Structure formats: structure tokens, C-alpha cells
Chains A and B, each alone.
Chain A
Amino acid sequence: MNSIETNNMWYFRDVTDEDNDDYTSDSVVVPVDQITGIVPFGSVIYIYFRGQNLSSTQDNVTQNQIVALNYEAGYGKEVCEHLAALANAGPHHSGITVVADNATTDFDGSTRAAITSHKYITGVSFIHNA
């Protein structure tokens, strides 16, 4: 039997209401092996992924796709260490690991807390993958 090589996939969502999760910059799943580097910038940590970014705002001069996470200033190293471990951890049931999900209102109108995978990650700042 041929073996299937699995890949850890990271999930990010940048809307607070699932009803509004309807655009390329609202949520994204990306393969971990497409990460080119992780760099702090101001109050966010940029995760760069291979892929062409065609948006046109100032922060988008760079051509790779970006997911920016809000984090607690001064703990960039701790966040990086966590993300490295997360990248090398076995994928969960579906293979998707939720790194940060800003949604607090579900489709049925019920509410819940936002999800982050680490205490120093406070949410998704933006997703540039259009």
C-alpha cells in the first residue's frame, strides 16, 4: 500500500461572526511547509507563506502571502517557539490546526470565545492572500 504523506495545515480566521466569513481575507488554511519565515513587526507577528499576494495596500509590497497575528509585545520568541512546536506536531483529526480564530458568533447566532493556540497570541490581525 502506498503511504500518504500528510501535511500539517494551519487555519486562521479574521472575522468575529461566521456569517461574514465570505472573502479571501476572512479566513484561510495554509500548508505549514509553505511557510517561508516568521517575523515580528510592531504589535503583530507576520507569518509569510509562499504564494503571490496581489493586493495593493502599503503592507502588501511584499509578494508572499501573509497572515499577521496579534501577540503580546515582548513575547515574540515564546510565540515563535510555540509555532515551531505546532508546525511539527501531528495534525489533528482532520489535519487542520486552528492557530487563531477571531469568530465569537456562530452561524446559528450562539456565541463563544475566540480561539488562539497560545496564551500570547491574541488573535488574527489580518490575512493577505488575495
Chain B
Amino acid sequence: MKEDKWLYFRNVTDADDDDGLLGTNKNHPTSLMIPASRLACMQPMSDTTLSLEFSPIKHLEVGSQYQRTKAPKADAVILTVTQGKTFEVMEAITHAINSPSRTGGFIVIADDVTTFKDNSTRAVGEYIHKDISGVDSMYAYRTPQGFGMHEYWEMVSLSATAGDADGKSVGQLLVSLPAQAILLEGAMTVITRSDHADSSVRLDIHSASRADGATGGTEWIGAGSSGTASIPNADLNNGSGDVLYDTLHSGTHAPIDRDTAETFIQVTACEDTSGATTSAGIIGVYIKWFGSPAEVI
């Protein structure tokens, strides 16, 4: 049977605070455990910090090499170490990974906790080497990172009630794109249809988040996309009698420079879609852009 060592890190001082997020940033866990086989490299980041970099934990990362920076490995744990002792720390971690297991393969690399759940305490955290003094930071990203070419796919469950008029949002992608993105292309397809005969949608972009039922976006893909022709040049019909897996692409739409605007992407009603009783359908949305990584809304 294959055996792997499991590397453990925690960067809170009270076990009660080990609840997932350090502050409000969704990319900074309070603790994590990673199979040693996912370790990509260890390298100093400064005189007193050492980075352990890992293959991504939360998302698939394939085919990104040569497309953007930090590809494909951006998840990392940064340890605070004694200046001049980075080699010794890397050697200790390597030794632990390659040594016979006495603890079921569980290896505490760095644990900052000094107050436990039962409120008992210890003077300092637990570290695999005396020249580690703490966890500086940890990164486990929810979206692929790096600057350059990105793609994203999501299946959007449409609101069954919000689209009671043309132009109202019935679903929004769960990520936004930071400023300076250039939208290259997009497409959408009918994954499941509405349980009502009347339903068709388009894809809008907007500079702000838009709740279901709200209006205000700019049409990108659909029959009304200004001065361009989507392929086919139509809205996407997803009523109960329409064609399953019917697909729409941005077609002749030129790349869109979003400049200083953030980008939110919404599936928008083109006819009254609110007749659905239980399901207004699911639309698969694909987008491709050049720029910064997507952020989880």
C-alpha cells in the first residue's frame, strides 16, 4: 500500500480560533494538512522566511504552464525562520518526510497554538526544528492564480422567480475579475431547461455585483449584443420545449478592455422566465480572459 506523510501547519495561537479563515480573506486558512507528495519545493523568501510550495489544494490546475505566472503551483506555507538557518530547516523537513513513521505519518511542521481547547497552555508552539519560530502566512487559493491567460467554467442555477421582465438578472457567476482584465471570449450552453415553456437568456457584464431581479448590465453574448454577432446571433433558449445543450458563443465580439472596472458576469432574462415552478434551469457559462486571477465573490 502506498504510504504518504502528512504535513501539518497551524497559524493561530488559540485552538478556539482554528476555524478556517484568518481574518476575512478566503485564501488564508488557519490550519491545513497536506500530503508530502504534494510538496513542490522549499525556498527562502527573505532572510527570515522560508516558503513551502504545494500543488493546489482546492482547485484543479492543469495545462497552465506558459500561460501565466505562478502556474501551476501557488499554494504555500511561509515559515518564519532564523536568519542563516534556511538550509537546516529544509533539511529537517526533508528528514522527517523520508524517515520511518512513528506517528502514523502525521508530521507537525509548525503549530503556533499555545492555548488548547481545554484552555491548558504551553510556552511556545510546536515546530519540527528549533530555528522555526512560527507560521508567517498560509495560502490555499480557491481559484487558479497568476497573471496572464485564464479560463473559468461554472454552471449557474437560474432564479425561478427573478426574471419576470427582459433585462433582469437571473444568476451571477460566483467569481469576479479584477480591473485591467481583457475579456477574450465567452460561451454559454443549456445544461438543464426550465420547467416552463418560456425562457431565454443572454450573458451580461457589469462593473458591480447585481442581485437576481436587478437590471443594469451590458449585453455581451446574445441577440442584442451591440454591433456584433454572437454565434448563433440569438438569445439562448432554455424553455421546457427548447433544445438541450443548445450553445451560444461570443462570436465576432472584439476583446473587451475592462480598464479600471471590475467585472461581474450575469445571466440575464430575455423574456419572462418567471413562470418556472421549481426549476428555471441551469446554464453552463465559459469565459476566457487575460489579466489577474478571478476572485471569489
The answer on a CB contact under 8 Å between A84 and B33 is yes
Q: Does A96 contact B (CB under 8 A)?
A: no
Q: Does B142 contact A (CB under 8 A)?
A: yes
Q: Does B240 contact A (CB under 8 A)?
A: no
Determine the chain B residues whose CB is within 8 A of the CB of A81 once the complex forms. Answer: 8, 103-104, 106
Binds B, one of A11-19, A71-79, A102-110: A71-79
Q: How far is the CB of A4 from chain B (nearest CB, A)?
A: 10
Produce 1/0 per residue, A41-80, CB < 8 A to B.
Answer: 1110000101110111110111110000000011111001
Q: Does B241 contact A (CB under 8 A)?
A: no
Q: How far is the CB of B71 from chain A (nearest CB, A)?
A: 15
The answer on a CB contact under 8 Å between B4 and A62 is no
**Complex alpha-carbon distance, A54 and B157, angstroms:** 12
Per the CB 8 Å criterion, the residue count for chain A at the interface is: 45
User: B35-68: which residues lie under 8 A (CB-CB) from chain A?
Assistant: 35, 37-38, 54-60
Binds A, one of B15-23, B85-93, B220-228, B249-257: B15-23
Smallest CB gap from B140: residue in A: A39
The answer on a CB contact under 8 Å between A73 and B19 is yes
Smallest CB gap from A38: residue in B: B33
The answer on a CB contact under 8 Å between A35 and B29 is no
Determine the chain A residues whose CB is within 8 A of the CB of B106 once the complex forms. Answer: 80-81, 84-85
Residues on B close to A: CB < 8 A?
A: 1-4, 6, 8, 10, 15-16, 18-21, 29-35, 37-38, 54-60, 75, 101, 103-106, 108, 111, 113, 116-117, 140, 142-143, 154-157, 174-175, 282, 296
Besides A8-B1, A35-B35, A89-B104, 5 more A-B contacts (Cβ < 8 Å) are: A40-B31, A50-B60, A51-B60, A61-B175, A76-B18
